[in-house]
Amino acid sequence: MLTKRIIPCLDVTAGRVVKGTSFTNLRDAGDPVEQAAFYYQEGADELVFLDIGATPEARDTMVEVVRKVSKQVFVPLCVGGGLRSISDMRRMLLAGADKVSINTAAVHKPELLKEGAAIFGRQCMVLAVDAKRIRGKDKAGWEVCTHGGRRPTGIDALEWIKQAVEMGAGEILLTSWDADGHQAGYDNELNRAVSEMVNVPVIASGGAGTLEHLYEALAVGKADAVLAASIFHYREYSIKQVKEYLAGRGIPIRS
């Protein structure tokens, strides 16, 4: 049986891991290569690196980080943040990434998903979506935010995800703008809506604070994987603890 993946996320800027709340108030959380090796040894099923600086200089630093990490970490690596072109993606993949995630660039130029899927395969193409709740008259909905969550676009998140999968996205990295960084639980209405709508894996992101939150994202939100940053960075829970807890609650997990 396919197991659910537990994915620590490393937000990196200028070669350091950082963590903030709703994309702001960043705090230093360590060296990315050391952190990655630590998570690998602990049993992480995959690692995600998000370059939140995303300046040209920061990107060079990120390429180096990916190159070093891929020499000592033998689980899949996904890299995103500021990737704007096929050549940006190729650089990360050549450095050792297995997947690239694109967000703002895909909204501006959806053909990037199609081109990337044709060149690298759709399994390489992760669509990252920052979805912010909007309160409609009848029911809740979500809009897409770009630029690291800073810019609401008015684009309907579900419509966009559906279109992006048709274009070539092979996986969805779904972050709740409202829940991210608050450690009060994932937006499982969002996770479930997307997971039931598309035929590609969904990684739930944003809001993990307790073991129960991770369980809910998988059991209630129907996600294929959970991504978390804070609870792992500050050693609130080890990956082993998370896995034992989830396995105990009947979730298929790689031990």
Residues 12-41 that bind other proteins (CB under 8 A): 40
- Interface with other proteins (CB under 8 A), residue total 32
Alpha carbon 174 to its chain centroid, in Å, reads 7
- Binding flag, residue 90, other proteins (CB under 8 A): no
CB contact at 8 A, 160 and 152: no
- Binding flag, residue 166, other proteins (CB under 8 A): no
130 is catalytic: yes
Distances in whole angstroms, Cα of residue 228 to Cα of each of 203, 217, 241: 10, 11, 14
Distances in whole angstroms, Cα of residue 178 to Cα of each of 30, 40, 132, 188, 203: 25, 29, 6, 12, 16
- Given 45, 88, 98, 130, the catalytic residue: 130
- Cβ neighbours, 10 Å, residue 68: 17
- Binding flag, residue 87, other proteins (CB under 8 A): no
178 is catalytic: no
Q: CB of 244: closest distance to other proteins in angstroms? A: 15
DSSP letters of 132-175?
A: EEEE-SSSEEEEEEETTTTEEEEEEHHHHHHHHHHHT--EEEEE
Q: CB of 226: closest distance to other proteins in angstroms? A: 12
Going by C-beta distance under 8 Å and a sequence separation of 6 or more, which residues neighbour residue 254? 3, 5, 43, 45, 243
What's the residue count for the chain?
Answer: 255
Q: Kindly tell me which of 147 and 254 has the beta carbon lying closer to other proteins.
A: 254
Q: CB of 235: closest distance to other proteins in angstroms? A: 21
- Binding flag, residue 121, other proteins (CB under 8 A): yes
- Binding flag, residue 122, other proteins (CB under 8 A): yes
- Binding flag, residue 71, other proteins (CB under 8 A): yes
- Residues tagged active-site: 11, 130
Which residues are near other proteins by CB under 8 A?
1-5, 40, 45, 70-72, 74-76, 93-96, 98, 120-124, 170-171, 199-201, 224-225, 254-255
